[in-house]
Chain A
Amino acid sequence: MGFFKQKKKEPAQEKVIREDKVPPHQSTTSLEKNIAYIKEEMRNSADLKIRLLPDSKQALIFLDDITDPDKMQRYIFEPLLKTDGDIRKIKDREESNDLNKAVTALIGGKAVYLVEGNSTCYLFNVQMDASRAIMEPVNEKVIKGSHDGFTEDIKTNINLIRRRIQHRSLTIKKMTIGDYTESEIAMVYVDGVVNGDVVKELETRISNINTDALLSAGAFTEYIEDRTYSIFPQFLSTERPDKTTALLMEGRIAILFANNPTCLVAPVTFFAFYQTPDDYNTRWIVATYLRLIRLFSFIISITLPSFYIAVIGFHYEVIPEQLISPVLGSIRDIAYPPLAEAVMMVTILEVIREAAIRLPSPIGSTIGIVGGLVIGDAIVTAGLVSNLMVIVIALTSLASYVVPSNEMSDALRILTFPLCIMSAVLGFIGIGFGLLLLLIHLCRIESLGLSYFTPIQFRDVKDTIIRVPQFLMKRRPEQLDSPRPYKSNQLGENNGE
């Protein structure tokens, strides 16, 4: 609606400087000043480690999670002992008088050695090799794109993110929760892109958690999410570093857990649960098509059974004449009312699903075949459930599995029940009220104080319902109210909306 569109002024946006183009910052001879500068540039990130050597005249600075202590020992400390503490005699070093270059090197996995009274920074390459087996998460597979995933080790996880965002404004804040467990968590965000209020809000909420033991990411969300009584997940959980990076760059916050490969991302919108990294790896037309398929299956998965119940039980006028005799032929000898049929079928499917998850995988597939084929066929022949209902329920649960996010898929399958009951009582009007209440509820939910189900605005449609080419997605999502609303430094003519 062009009519209501308000002309917004181009927001002033600070330019971001790439790491390789940072203007030089002359280092001073004061060790203290140099360290303070580096600390500030790194936004006091939690993984920045400053090791003052005993006499406090020399300091070694490095990023904890991406450097290898063994290498440090071998390349710095052992030679240092041999040369009686004279750093200039060690080989394999780079020198620089530029503190900014030193910061860039830090991010690249180097250690910086500073000496009091000497303005030269000595750089040593001590980057950690990704030696651990990093596997693609089983429940979030993609066709194209990177095939790595988070592991149980929080250091590896931060390393995976640091490698993808090679900039000093990537900030990591570590906290421990649980009086007994002392579980370590890390808040990761990109400073300057994320909305500062949201970070503060999340920090307060985390600091308010008061518990003996933090056992899982799921329990963690229940402590801090906005609406615990809602069925919809308000934190996106993922085990994919590429997805996390993309979300971080939109201006969201990621939370990593020690001993848990799950990464939670907030604030998110409803539509984030329908996006996969695949979308950005394929042609945009294909991605749009897939997004629309997902939207369609969202609608199918919550309304199809209730629609069927309403049509069979209330408004058979809507069946077109060509379909009357097939439908009538299929349902005439069924003993139960459609609601009972639906509940029965859904329950059977869920039982099969649960059984298949718990069993070892070779037996699991057998269960799928036995459950799906044998029971499905037998139940129709026995006249308990009509074959139309089998089709409806099968389609519904298939459609609910289309959602890339597991929690959302579960939520959708549960939502089927209230809608079925409503439609069994009031027909289409019941579905209407059910959806009405559901949508109002979605509008009420907030994720970290930002709206969860933003009413579809034209600008946000570009990356929610469809996906347009990258050059048309110049802006970050409106919902986040990012201090850096545009995705690039170039504003103006290239940035026309």
Chain B
Amino acid sequence: MANDSNKKITLSQMGYIYIQSQIGVDILNLPTVLHKAAGADGWITLIIGGLISIVFVLMVVHTIKCYPGEDLFGILNSSFGKYIGSIAGFSYYVYFLVVAIYLLTSYGELINQWLLPETPVWLLYILLLISALYTISGGLTLIAKVFTFFAVVLFFISSLFLFGLADAKLIYFQPMGQATLSGYIDGISVSIYSLSSFVLLFLFLPFTQGSHKQKRRVAIGANCIVALFYLYTVLISFSHFGSEQLQHIPQPILYMLRTADSPLITRIDIFVLTLWTVFAMTAFASYLYGAEKAFAKIPKAKKKIINVYSTSLLVLAVSVWGGLNEKNIRMIISFQDRITEYFTLVIPIILFLLSFLRRKDKQERASS
């Protein structure tokens, strides 16, 4: 396990890791969720959310800069002290687990709905889990290689989305500015959550080569690419479906591709769904990696090998329970929604503020 964790990844690999861990299954639902929250203004809220997420990325990068060579758990320990730090570390373990479970169940639900209604969902879970474990067992360098390779899929899928432009109508973007303030706030928070993987930067950035300036540039660049990809998806879905119809379609992008015909092959949605497995796997793998790292940092934890197994078996068990019916899935989702706020927004802000105190400490120490 992670035998070459002392090897560092390159900047571009870090960028690709960040992109791939952001884009999960969520993005398929994003247009509908945004439209429900803010109507035709959904895409504006996405832009605002994207800008705010850049602020968060900057905060995370700054925090890491203040604690050189330490990852999330090291930073937690040195900011909060040993006891609270370990508790915070453990709660991050729970958080990463919950997100991983959420990603797994939502992937299973997606495939079950669209492609394989009869296939037991645990088989899909196991396959995804094995792929993810296989990836993370090679350590950060393998994750970097695999994720970089799969970036090709992103470009490929983006080009397939262009089929949706055939029936696009610009009038569906109108009327603008009709959403209420609460609608806007809803939309913005949805957008930020959909871009919330910046927490993972705490895990990847300290192990990246390059100066802080370069790291900052790449992190922001990757964040922008993800946000632009989201925007692209949202814009295409909005222009393709009328506002009324969009409310009824949970995965507009896939739905749109159902009628996209090419002379060789029809039903492009099936191919996109298959390719989406890649995104589901990469996002899942990076959270599982986070959980593994977190578990390794818990004091008195047993041998590492046991970690990954116990962690992944836990994920699998909860996911199978979630896959039993829709009510359980909703429970997982709502639980995840509730805790996401603390782990992706509150704690990074606190760490950011604490990093200033620490700097003052240092300066005082240096001057005295």
Contact = CB atoms under 8 A, between A and B. Distances in A.
Interface in A287-332: 315, 317-321
B317 interface: no
B142 A444 contact: yes
Size category of the A interface is 20 to 34
A439 B142 CA distance: 11
Contacts of B11: 4, 6
A428 B274 contact: yes
B278 A456 contact: no
A427 B116 contact: yes
Contacts of B261: 320
Interface string B248-275: 0000000000000101111100110111
Contacts of B265: 318-320
Interface residues on B, range: 35 or more
Contact of A3 (B116, B127, B225, B271): B225
A21 B248 CA distance: 78
A439 B267 contact: no
Contacts of A4: 11-12, 15-16, 218, 221-222
Greatest chain B CB density within 10 A among A319, A428, A432, A440 is at: A440
B277 interface: yes
B146 interface: yes
A451 interface: yes
Interface string A427-460: 1110111001101110110000001011110000
A444 B149 CA distance: 12
A426 interface: yes
B15 to A, nearest CB: 5
Contacts of A427: 115-116
Given A315-B267, A436-B277, A455 B134 contact: no
Interface string B175-201: 000000000000000000000000000
B115 A440 contact: no
Nearest to A443: B145
A451 B275 CA distance: 25
Given A3-B15, A428-B271, A429-B116, A440 B146 contact: yes
Nearest to B12: A4
Interface in A1-24: 1, 3-6
B146 A439 contact: yes
A6 B210 contact: yes
Contacts of A432: 274-275, 277-278
B12 A437 contact: no
B298 interface: no
B152 interface: yes
A83 B128 CA distance: 83
Given A320-B266, A429-B111, A443 B131 contact: no
Given A318-B270, A429-B115, A440 B131 contact: yes
Nearest to A436: B131
Contact of B142 (A5, A318, A443): A443
B267 A6 contact: no
Given A429-B124, A437-B131, A439-B149, A320 B214 contact: no
Nearest to B263: A320
B29 to A, nearest CB: 19
Interface string B1-26: 00000000011100110000000000
B325 interface: no
Interface string A443-485: 1100000010111100000000000000000000000000000
B148 interface: yes
Contacts of A5: 12
Contacts of B221: 3-4
Interface in B203-248: 210, 214, 218, 221-222, 225
A364 B130 CA distance: 45
Contacts of B222: 4
Contact of B214 (A6, A439, A453): A6
Contacts of A444: 134, 138, 142
A318 B267 contact: yes
Interface in A314-360: 315, 317-321
A429 B117 CA distance: 12
Interface in B113-140: 115-116, 119, 123-124, 127-128, 130-131, 134-135, 138
A148 B220 CA distance: 55
A417 to B, nearest CB: 18
A327 to B, nearest CB: 13
B61 to A, nearest CB: 16
A428 B115 contact: yes
B224 to A, nearest CB: 8
B145 A428 contact: no
B281 interface: yes
A68 B265 CA distance: 66
B266 A318 contact: yes
A455 B116 contact: no
Contact of B274 (A6, A321, A431): A431
Contacts of B130: 437
A429 B134 contact: no
B216 to A, nearest CB: 13
A454 B32 CA distance: 38
B276 to A, nearest CB: 9
A6 B12 contact: yes
B160 to A, nearest CB: 14
Interface in A413-432: 426-429, 431-432
B134 A1 contact: no
A426 B119 CA distance: 8
Nearest to B262: A320
Contact of A429 (B146, B148, B267, B277): B277
B278 A436 contact: yes
A428 B124 CA distance: 12
Nearest to B152: A456
Contacts of B134: 437, 440-441, 444
B225 A451 contact: no
30 contacts: A3-B15, A4-B12, A4-B16, A4-B222, A6-B10, A6-B210, A6-B214, A317-B266, A317-B267, A318-B265, A318-B266, A318-B267, A318-B270, A320-B261, A320-B265, A320-B266, A426-B116, A427-B116, A428-B271, A428-B273, A429-B274, A429-B277, A432-B277, A433-B127, A439-B146, A440-B135, A443-B138, A443-B145, A453-B145, A454-B145
Interface of B: 10-12, 15-16, 111, 115-116, 119, 123-124, 127-128, 130-131, 134-135, 138, 142, 145-146, 148-150, 152, 210, 214, 218, 221-222, 225, 261, 263-267, 270-271, 273-275, 277-278, 281
Interface of A: 1, 3-6, 315, 317-321, 426-429, 431-433, 436-437, 439-441, 443-444, 451, 453-456
Nearest 6 interchain pairs by C-beta: A4-B12, A455-B148, A432-B274, A443-B145, A432-B277, A455-B149
Given A443-B142, A443-B146, A456-B149, 7 more contacts: A6-B11, A427-B116, A429-B124, A432-B275, A443-B149, A451-B145, A455-B148
